Copies of this chain bind each other. A is one copy, B any other.
Amino acid sequence: MKAEIISIGTEILLGQILNTNQQWLSVKLAELGIGVYHHSTVGDNPERLSGALESGIRRSDIVITTGGLGPTVDDITLQAISRTFQIENPRVIRNLVGTAPGFVYDIGGKLLIALPGPPRELNPMFERSVAPLLKKKYRGEGVLKVRTIRMTGLSESFADRKAGNLLKSPPPLTVGIYAKPALVELKIMAKAADEKRAKALIDKADRRITSRLGRYIFGRDDETLEGAVGSMLSRARKTLAVAESCTGGLISSRITDVPGSSVYFRMGIVAYSNDIKSGLLGVRGVTLRRYGAVSRQTAVEMAKNVRKSAGADIGLSVTGIAGPSGAVKGKPVGLVYIAVSMKDRTFCREFRFRGEREIIKFRSSQAALDLLRVSL
């Protein structure tokens, strides 16, 4: 079963947007056991699109197009399809998020599926309508299952060393390593005759990875760190308050991305200046004068005081220097203190992050949420 993906849009060829749909669809098709043999991109040009559609249907069993379905003048996919294949009666796939529906054509027994370009429309449409259709039509080809193990607080090279021989697993098992800032993922893929056998292979590899790297694992597949922390807070019936300096509200925002977070999240304070830290957060003047706003002592007082003032069970605080300016002697850009305060204990850790302002903000929020996770 051969599939290919054709992206449509001059803005992609101009480099104005990064084509993430091809990767996303490739992963989804792989999970269905369908191999992708070609990616291609053409602009909003009827002849070149027609050429791509023709080659696609000639050499592949399934052709998925993305883009060119909206109401504006450069949306040309449907006209090109009907002109190329003299076919007019697709099955319509509803779009629950945007305006442009998707379309499924049967072209001499081959499938041509036209989907919208924006990922927020394409992704749910594929999951809800296209994946079930493909599963039904191409049943019996075996299944490929994928599980992603998500970790933070470790380097890629450390994960690589620990995963070791698993990364060289022979078929039908594949383990790959992918690193982003403050996030390392191990992807386990297994191909088998059925779901159950594939799952057994994956479970076995998962257990081996967990025994080596368990303490860094915060979730699997789509689970986020903030979601994992939220579940733990819910289960423990604990409430949280956050005091942020250099992360500027990012931690509160990530925590409140989780539906239902109002149950455990009480309050966040973004204290960007010393007088807010001393006024609203009650950090003592002597602490700020003697140790500075970016110090272990200030972080500890912030965490304690935000917990008390919110009447929460746990206080989390971050203070640091996100850059590019703000560094002083002995306190470089990237120096960050994170403190967690509970009724019976308070602790603080020092971090030194690298990168640009937004990367340091993100790494700090990741480390803070992970410290909270570990302490729960």
Contact = CB atoms under 8 A, between A and B. Distances in A.
Interface of A: 7, 10-20, 22-28, 30, 35-43, 45, 48, 55, 70-74, 97, 118, 120, 146, 148, 156-157, 160, 167-168, 174, 176-181, 187, 189, 242, 244, 247-253, 255-257, 259-262, 265-273, 275-276, 280, 309-311, 322-326, 355, 357-359, 361
Given A120-B359, A251-B249, A267-B276, A26 B13 contact: yes
Nearest to A20: B18
Contact of A187 (B11, B157, B268): B11
Contacts of A48: 37-38
B269 A270 contact: yes
A179 B311 CA distance: 43
A16 B178 contact: yes
A19 B358 CA distance: 22
B252 A270 contact: yes
A267 B256 contact: no
A176 B249 contact: no
B361 A167 contact: no
B256 A73 contact: no
A37 B23 contact: no
Contact of A16 (B176, B262, B273, B309): B176
A36 B14 contact: yes
Contacts of A276: 266-267, 310
A242 to B, nearest CB: 8
A262 B13 CA distance: 39
Contacts of A39: 7, 12-13, 19, 39-41
A272 B265 contact: yes
Given A48-B38, A265-B272, A176 B10 contact: yes
Given A181-B120, A280-B309, A14 B189 contact: yes
Given A37-B48, A252-B270, A267-B271, A24 B30 contact: no
23 contacts: A12-B23, A13-B26, A15-B27, A18-B23, A19-B39, A22-B41, A37-B42, A37-B43, A37-B45, A40-B40, A40-B41, A71-B160, A97-B355, A118-B180, A248-B255, A249-B251, A249-B255, A252-B253, A257-B361, A259-B325, A262-B326, A265-B272, A267-B272
Given A13-B39, A38-B48, 4 more contacts: A55-B55, A257-B361, A260-B325, A267-B272
Instruction: State the 3 A-B residue pairs at the shortest beta-carbon distance, nearest first.
Output: A248-B256, A249-B252, A15-B26
Contacts of A324: 259
Contacts of A10: 174, 176
A364 to B, nearest CB: 12
A28 B118 CA distance: 24
Contacts of A25: 15
A9 to B, nearest CB: 9
Contacts of A28: 15
Given A40-B39, A41-B22, A187-B11, A266 B256 contact: no
A193 to B, nearest CB: 20
Contacts of A250: 249, 253, 256
A240 B292 CA distance: 23
Contacts of A11: 176, 178, 187
A211 B17 CA distance: 27
B357 A257 contact: yes
A226 B20 CA distance: 25
A243 to B, nearest CB: 11
